[in-house]
Amino acid sequence: MIRNTKMLYFPMYNDKYGKLVPVEANGNVPFDVKRVYYIYEVMDGMRRGFHSHRDLQQALICIHGSVKILVKTPFEEDVVCLNNPQEALWIGPMVWREMYDFENDGVLLVLASEHYTEDDYIRDYQSYEQEAKVFFNVKEKRTYK
């Protein structure tokens, strides 16, 4: 995994009624959840994201189907395929992300540590690269690894 990303794993309770996965803020998700949103019915070939956040932490859970997530810093990149409702991709601050290949009616549920604010987004890759180089080299203690 690249810096400021990690996988989270959730328990699942399976009984004759079906399956249940509990997700708890400050428990198996390592932050206070202030916002939830979900992305679905993404058309074939569509790619979303193309931004980083300055402070936000998020947990991305594919609760149906599958989706690929490209995560990237100026120093490294990785592709994570989410296809298991018992797993989440945690993304901390200053990681570029792109979501694509939503397959089999992929539904991406996202838990976020802050309310929505456009000020937290960096949507231009060159600006991101400049800020991220400073963030990771100079403010290393702000990383969560």
115 has catalytic annotation: no
The nearer residue to ligand T46, 19 or 47, going by C-beta atoms, is: 47
For residue 33, state whether it binds ligand T46 (rule: CB under 6 A).
no
The nearer residue to ligand T46, 10 or 90, going by C-beta atoms, is: 90
Task: Please select the residue that binds ligand T46; options are 9, 37, 38, 75, rule is CB under 6 A.
Answer: 37
* Tokens (6 digits) for 91: 């993304």
For residue 72, state whether it binds ligand T46 (rule: CB under 6 A).
no
C-beta of 115: minimal distance to ligand T46 in Å? 8
Give the interface size with ligand T46 as a residue count (CB under 6 A).
11
For residue 38, state whether it binds ligand T46 (rule: CB under 6 A).
no
Q: How far apart are CA 47 and CA 117, in angstroms?
A: 22
Q: How far apart are CA 83 and CA 67, in angstroms?
A: 7
DSSP string covering 51-106, please?
Answer: EEESS--EEEEEEEEEEEEEEEETTEEEEEEE--TTEEEEE-TT-EEEEEEEEEEE
C-beta of 37: minimal distance to ligand T46 in Å? 5
Q: How far apart are CA 49 and CA 13, in angstroms?
A: 32
C-beta of 104: minimal distance to ligand T46 in Å? 19
Q: Look at the block and give the residue holding tokens 């070939």.
A: 45
For residue 75, state whether it binds ligand T46 (rule: CB under 6 A).
no
Task: Please select the residue that binds ligand T46; options are 116, 130, 142, 145, rule is CB under 6 A.
Answer: 116
Task: Output phi, psi for 85, to 5 deg.
Answer: -65, -5
For residue 48, state whether it binds ligand T46 (rule: CB under 6 A).
yes
Residues serving a catalytic function are: 51
